[in-house]
Structure 1
């Protein structure tokens, strides 16, 4: 599953509606609403959690994945140590990472590309990718029909 920075993951593009995602992956393994009434789709086989924002007409705005085949610039992320990840992607513009630690986890956040790499015991276990916001507006990458 290829990470397309600022756009999405695999065939998923920020701005898709639920019907667009279902056309690609079928019915989700589970769906529910979070505390903000956003719709969440879980796809167990792909290890994906998708958030459709209620305040944005239920457009896909956030993707979380722990799929072991996640790759960025043809390099896998899950299972790699954070030092290797940082070194691998610095030449692609992923230079500045904010670090936040809690419990056994560390989050490494790059605001320019709105990506979080979460590690546990120094090894990447999850990637979060959000739609880019510019001038207080989302930059949607998919135009729904």
Structure 2
């Protein structure tokens, strides 16, 4: 599954509505509302969780994925050493990461592309990507019907 920076993953494009996602991938294995009344879809086979923001007309705005098929710039990222993934990203201009630690996990956040590489034991175990928020504090929706 190809990661499309600032846009989404594979056929998932920020700004889609729930029906658009169901058309592309079928019904989710699980759907529920979080504490903010955002709608969450979970697809087990894709190993992906998606958030549709209540305050944004339930548009797709955030993705959390852990599939071994995830690719960024043609390279797999999951279950690889973070140093190797960062080395692959550097020639593409992605070099600035804010690092946070939680127990055995570390998050590497790149604000420019709104991505997080989560590691455990120094290997990437989860990837998160969010819709870009512009200088006017508005989401830049990429999906056009």
Structure 2: tracts of 5 or more residues without a match? none
Deviation at 1:143, TM superposition (A): 2.1
* In 2: Cα distance, 1:141 partner to 1:19 partner: 16
TM-score relative to the length of structure 1: 0.98
> 1:138 matched to which residue of 2?
139
Deviation at 1:138, TM superposition (A): 0.3
Q: 1:41: Cα distance to partner? A: 0.1
> 1:83-116 deviations in whole A, cap 9, x for unaligned?
0011100111211000000111000000000000
**Aligned partners of 1:88 and 1:12: how far apart in 2?**
24
In 2, the alpha carbon distance for the partners of 1:6 and 1:79 equals 23
SS at match of 2:37: coil
**Which residue of the partner structure matches residue 8 of structure 1?**
8
Q: How many equivalent pairs are there?
A: 144
Equivalent-residue separation in structure 2 for 1:5 and 1:93 (angstroms): 12
| Runs of 5+ consecutive residues of structure 1 not aligned to the other structure | none
TM-score (norm 2): 0.98
- Distance in 2, matches of 1:48 and 1:93, equals 26
Distance 2:103 2:39 in 1: 28
Match of 1:99 in 2: 99
Structure 1 stretches of at least 4 aligned residues deviating more than 6 Å after TM superposition:
none
Separation in structure 1 between the aligned mates of residue 53 and residue 91 of structure 2, nearest angstrom: 32
Corresponding residue number in structure 1 for 2:56: 56
CA–CA distance in 1 between the matches of 2:92 and 2:6? 13
Work out whether 1:126 is the aligned partner of 2:126: yes
